[in-house]
Amino acid sequence: MLKFGGSSLATPELIRSAALRAASFAGQGRKTAVVVSAMGKATDELLGLAKTIAPLKTDRRELDRLLATGEQQSAALFTIALTAEGCSARSFSGVEAGFLAEGAWGEGRIISVDPVRIESAADSGHVAVITGFQARTREGETITLGRGGSDLTAISLAAALGADECRIFTDVDGIYSADPRIVPGAFKLDRIGWDECLEMAFCGARVMQARSVEMAGKMNIRMCVASSFQESEGTWIMERIVDEAAVIRSVASDDNLVVLTVEGEMENQRTLMEAFSSEGVHTTVMVGCSGMAFHIEGTRLPEALKICARLEGCSVSVNEGLSRVSVIGPGAGNHPEVCRTMLNTMEKIGAAVHMLMSSAFSVTCVLDRERSEEAVRALHEEFIEKKGVFQCA
């Protein structure tokens, strides 16, 4: 199973180059299927068109139908490129590939994949090219799978087909210990476990969609994130690494964070949680004496505020000036040394920590957004660059 992201398909020349790579896999006698994203910034451009026409409110059903056209263009063009290279190929929409999903528009959740047409194409010697990011509902409607959903399409289809592996081709040559644009000394990871990569995605790393990594772990699918433009191996995401030591492998930040603090009747707060969930607004909830603090994606703030406005008896305050910065590695939250070192490092650079959270795979601090990049660099130096200095008992 191969997947090519939008940056790998941004121009006709890049589509031909990606098709050549796919043809080389098929030429080795492998049954090959390819999932494609929309070309370049096509999805953003379609969103922009919709917002221009309806700046205040866009019908989410129609938006899904609009956005699905981006991947359909890519699949047809990729198939044309393969055929021109003498490689027999057929394109399929997500619906034709057997994807069934349900949930909020724009956030469909896969409930089954029946790839009978893809298997038939492969048995006939064709390379199947499938549109990512889309499925159908039980009612036969087109629904999309959330931003980055083409990764999820590829992993789910790989599982349904019983594929040995899934290779994700993109504009980076792998997964790094931190964002190289922030930390010049960040280095590429050769291999990480599914759980660790999932934590990285949850904490703000932008390489993989979190849901796709979760699916890969559930279905035991080995995957490799590699560059479309280089021949390097990339980063393998695979089985769990057995080692009791806590080793910090990466640092990630999430600047797309908004905190909504809601005060009022507890029943209203529970209703609000249900409303956020039904509308596909993902939240992390902190409960305190004065109310609930909802951590949401900044891009969903307008929708979240509309949901809040429907409830009476609730007081809502908004803080858009915060970021989350996390250190990630197996066992991170189980070792108090990690929390202590993170707090000491933040104190050294004079960054106020508003909240500290931990899980089995990460320790996260919430701080002022203007200190985010400095904090990432300081934590990367302390936990990763000073190899042999940081020790966990």
Per-residue pLDDT of the chain (393 residues; tens, 9 = 90+): 999 999 999 999 999 999 999 999 998 888 899 999 999 999 999 999 999 999 878 899 999 999 999 999 999 999 999 999 999 999 999 999 999 999 989 999 999 999 999 999 999 999 999 999 999 999 999 999 998 899 999 999 999 999 989 999 998 899 999 999 999 999 999 999 998 999 998 888 887 888 999 999 999 999 999 998 887 789 999 876 555 555 788 999 999 888 888 877 667 677 888 888 877 787 876 666 566 788 888 888 888 888 888 877 778 889 899 999 999 988 888 888 899 999 999 999 999 999 898 988 899 999 999 999 999 999 999 999 986 545 554
Write out the H or E segment, with its range, that includes residue 118. Answer: helix 116-123
Return the bridge partners of 109, or none: 102
Question: Residue 393's pLDDT is what?
Answer: 45
Q: For residue 370, give the H/E element and its range.
A: none
Using CA of residue 350, residue 351, residue 354, residue 357, what is the dihedral sign?
Answer: negative
Residue whose C-alpha is closest to residue 239's, from 206, 197, 211: 197
pLDDT at 164: 83
Of residues 314, 309, 328, the one with CA closest to residue 376: 328
Q: What pLDDT does 66 receive? A: 97
What gap in Å lies between CA 333 and CA 349, rounded to an integer?
A: 22
Q: End-to-end CA distance of the chain, in Å?
A: 41
Q: Tokens standing for 118? A: 């893809």
Asked if 132 and 150 count as a contact pair (C-beta separation under 8 A), the reply is yes
Task: Note the Cα 183 to chain centre separation in Å.
Answer: 21
Q: What is the pTM of this model?
A: 0.82
CA distance 159 to 118: 13
CB atoms < 10 A from the CB of 59, how many?
A: 12
Q: What is the DSSP string of 221-275?
A: -EEEEEESSS----EEEESPP---S----EEEEE--EEEEEEEE-HHHHHHHHHH
Question: Which secondary-structure segment (H or E) carries 297?
Answer: strand 291-297
Instruction: Give me the pLDDT at residue 288, please.
Output: 60
Are 191 and 235 contacting, i.e. CB atoms less than 8 angstroms apart? yes
Spatial contact of 74 and 8, defined as CB atoms under 8 Å apart? no
Name 100's bridge partners.
112, 136
Strands (E), 64-189: 89-92, 99-102, 109-113, 127-131, 134-136, 142-144, 165-170, 175-176, 188-189
* R_g of the chain computed on alpha carbons: 22
Question: How far lies 222's CA from each of 115, 163, 168, 200, in Å?
Answer: 20, 9, 11, 17
Tokens representing 273 are 């949680």
> Cα(226)–Cα(176) distance, rounded to whole angstroms?
11
Q: Could you tell me which of 117, 31, 12, 134 has the C-alpha nearest to residue 74? A: 12
- Which residues are registered as beta bridge partners of 168? 3, 225
Residue from 125, 239, 153 nearest 191 by CA = 239
